[in-house]
Chains A and B, each alone.
Chain A
Amino acid sequence: MTKRIFRRMDFALIAATVGIIIMSLIIIGSATHINTPSQERYWFVQRQGLFAIIDVALAVFFMNFDYKMLQGYGNKLYIFNLVMLLAVMLVGHSALGAQRWISIGPINIQPSEFSKLIMIISLAGLLEDRLGKINTVHDLLPIAAYVGVPFLLVLKQPDLGTSLVFMAIFFGMVFVCGIRLKLLGGIFLAGIACCPILWHFLKDYQKMRIMVFMDPNVDPLGSGYHIIQSKIAIGSGMLFGKGLFGGTQSQLNFLPENHTDFIFAVVGEELGFIGAAVLLLLYLVVLWRGVQIAKDASDMFGRLLATGITSMLAFHVLVNVGMTTGIMPVTGIPLPFMSYGVSSLTTNILAIAVLLNIQLRKQKLLF
Chain B
Amino acid sequence: MENEEYEGRIKALGIMVVMVIAILIARVGYLQVFDGEYYASLADGNRIRIIPSMAPRGTFYDRNGALLVTNRPGFTVSLLPLTAPVSEDVIERLSQLLHVPVEDIHAKVDAHSGFDPIRIKQDVTSDIVSIIEEQKNLYPGVVIEVQPIRNYILKQEAAHTFGYVSEISDEELERRKDEGYKSGDIIGKFGLEKIYDHELRGENGGEQVEVDVSGKPVQILGIKEPVPGADLYLTIDKNLQMAAEQAVDDQLAMIHASAAAAVVLNPQTGEVLAMVSRPAFDPNLFAHGISTKDWNEINNNPYHPMDNKAITGEYPPGSTFKIVTGTAALAAGKVSPEEKIFDSGHHWIIPKGNADGEALGWLNFTEAMAHSDNVYFYEMGNRLGIDNLEHYARMFGLGKVTGIDLPYEADGLVANRAYKRKVFDDDWYLSETFDAAIGQGFNLVTPLQAAMVMGEIAANGKCYKPHLVNRIMTQDGKIIKEFQPELLSELDVSQNVINLVQTGLHDVTKYGTAARIFAGFPVEIAGKTGTAENSQGRDHGWFVAYGPFDNPTVVVAVIVEQGGYGATSAVPIGRKILEAAFGLNQPAAAPAPANGQAAP
Residues of A within 8 A of B (CB): 131-132, 172, 175-178, 221, 225, 229, 231-239, 248-249, 252-254, 268, 272-273, 276-277, 280-281, 283-284, 287-288, 290-292, 294-295, 297, 300, 303, 307, 310-311, 314, 317-318, 321-322, 325-327, 363
Contact = CB atoms under 8 A, between A and B. Distances in A.
B3 A235 contact: no
B46 A235 contact: no
Interface stretch (B23-31, B469-477, B484-492, B507-515): B23-31
Contacts of A297: 1
A303 B33 CA distance: 39
Contact of A238 (B3, B32, B84, B211): B32
Given A254-B213, A327-B23, 5 more contacts: A176-B6, A239-B33, A288-B18, A325-B24, A325-B27
B17 A254 contact: no
Nearest to A179: B9
Interface stretch (B34-42, B359-367, B494-502, B592-600): B34-42
Contacts of A237: 32, 36
A127 to B, nearest CB: 12
Given A280-B25, A318-B20, A225 B32 contact: no
B107 interface: no
A248 B219 CA distance: 12
B21 interface: yes
Contacts of B29: 273, 277
Interface of B: 1, 3, 5-7, 9-10, 12-14, 16-18, 20-21, 23-25, 27-29, 31-33, 35-40, 42-44, 46-47, 83-85, 210-214, 218
Contacts of A325: 24, 27-28, 31
A291 B23 CA distance: 18
Nearest to A235: B39
Contacts of B25: 276-277, 280-281
6 contacts: A131-B6, A239-B32, A280-B24, A284-B17, A307-B10, A318-B20
A248 B27 contact: no
Contact of A232 (B16, B24, B46, B214): B46
Chain B binding site: helix, strand, loop or mixed by DSSP?
helix
Contacts of B1: 297, 300, 303, 363
Contacts of B38: 235
B211 A318 contact: no
A252 B218 contact: yes
Residue in A132, A177, A235, A307 whose Cβ sees the most chain B Cβ within 10 Å = A235
A125 to B, nearest CB: 18
B27 A236 contact: no
Contact of A235 (B9, B12, B32, B214): B32
Given A284-B17, A288-B14, A254 B83 contact: yes
B46 A254 contact: yes
A297 B210 CA distance: 56
B88 to A, nearest CB: 13
A283 B20 CA distance: 10
Residue in B12, B43, B218 whose Cβ sees the most chain A Cβ within 10 Å = B43
A20 to B, nearest CB: 13
A326 B30 CA distance: 12
Given A232-B42, A276-B32, A303-B1, A284 B27 contact: no
Given A132-B5, A225-B84, A253-B213, A280 B32 contact: no
Contacts of B33: 238-239, 273
B89 to A, nearest CB: 16
The 4 closest A-B pairs by CB, nearest first: A235-B39, A238-B36, A236-B43, A253-B213
B460 to A, nearest CB: 75
B38 to A, nearest CB: 7
A314 B20 contact: yes
A16 B36 CA distance: 28
Contact of B212 (A229, A252, A284): A252
Given A252-B210, A252-B211, A132 B17 contact: no
A281 B5 contact: no
A236 B21 contact: no
Nearest to B16: A314
Contact of A221 (B23, B42, B83): B83
A88 B47 CA distance: 40
Contact of A321 (B17, B24, B85): B24
A248 B28 contact: no
B46 A291 contact: no
A297 B1 CA distance: 8
A131 B17 contact: no
A346 B218 CA distance: 37
B91 to A, nearest CB: 15
Given A225-B84, A238-B40, A249-B46, A268 B9 contact: no
A361 to B, nearest CB: 14
A251 B346 CA distance: 96
B17 A231 contact: no
A235 B24 contact: no
B6 A232 contact: no
A167 B18 CA distance: 20
A131 B32 CA distance: 44
Contacts of A295: 7, 10, 14
Contact of B28 (A253, A277, A283): A277
Contacts of B13: 172, 175-176, 291, 294, 307, 310-311
B6 A236 contact: no
Contacts of A310: 13, 17
B79 to A, nearest CB: 15
Contact of A294 (B10, B20, B27, B218): B10
A291 B28 contact: no
Contacts of B18: 284, 288
A235 B40 contact: yes
B21 to A, nearest CB: 4
A249 B3 contact: no
Contacts of A311: 13
Contact of A288 (B17, B36, B85): B17
Contact of A236 (B3, B40, B84): B40
A80 to B, nearest CB: 28
A273 B36 CA distance: 10
A176 B10 contact: yes
Contact of B39 (A231, A276, A291, A303): A231
Contact of A327 (B21, B27, B39, B218): B27
A235 to B, nearest CB: 2
A236 B42 contact: yes
B31 A235 contact: yes
Contacts of B83: 221, 225, 229, 254
Contacts of B10: 176, 291, 294-295, 303, 307
A288 B31 CA distance: 25
B8 to A, nearest CB: 10
B36 A239 contact: yes
